């Protein structure tokens, strides 16, 4: 789970990382 990333920070960088993490979770 990478939801913690969003909890830590709500910056554009975090959003990109979260999307990347989400992609891995879907795999």
pLDDT digits 0-9 by tens, 1-27: 455 555 555 555 666 666 766 777 665
- Per the structure, the count of domains in the chain is 1
The pLDDT of residue 27 is 53
The pLDDT of residue 6 is 55
Written in H, E and C, the secondary structure of the chain is CCHHHHHHCCCHHHHHHHHHHHHHHHC
The pLDDT of residue 11 is 58
Per the structure, the complete domain to which residue 13 belongs is given by 1-27
Q: pTM of the entire structure?
A: 0.27
The pLDDT of residue 21 is 67
C-beta of residue 2 within 8 angstroms of C-beta of residue 21? yes
The pLDDT of residue 16 is 67
The pLDDT of residue 3 is 57
Q: Work out the number of other CB atoms within 10 angstroms of the CB of residue 22.
A: 14
């Amino acid at each position: 789970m990478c939801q913690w990333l969003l909890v830590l920070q709500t910056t554009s960088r975090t959003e990109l990382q979260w999307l990347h993490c989400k992609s891995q979770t879907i795999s």
